[in-house]
Amino acid sequence: MLHRNEKLVIWPSYLDATKSRRDGRTVAKKHSVKQPSLNEIQSAARELGLNPVAEPNKAYPKTWWVISGRVLVDKKTPKTITAKEICKIIRKNRS
């Protein structure tokens, strides 16, 4: 069982610039990335030293019919700051 104080759940929808806040994006549009993949999120979290664990067979609850996967990362900072840092690394890796 996952303890709330140990890990954060990062869904691709949190970082996706093509999604609205209503659809689940938690990062500001200027910091977000277009359609981040699970592998990009996992490698960015690894670069940040967050010990990521990808779970590709999970679905974001708001869009339960789409299997997008999720990444569990160590909780070192608040979720929004962690998500923004992951976006920053993905942007750097894409360019």
The pLDDT profile of the chain, 95 residues, written as one tens digit per residue, is 555 678 999 999 999 999 999 999 999 999 999 999 999 999 999 999 999 999 999 999 999 999 999 999 999 999 999 999 999 999 999 98
| CATH classification (class only), 7-94 | alpha beta
Phi–psi pair at 21, nearest 5 degrees: -60, -35
Of the candidates 58, 70, 69, the residue with the CA atom closest to the CA atom of residue 7: 70
- How many C-beta atoms surround the C-beta of residue 44 within 10 A? 26
Cβ-Cβ contacts under 8 Å for 94 (sequence gap 6 or more): 33, 40
Ranges of each domain in the chain: 7-94
pTM: 0.90
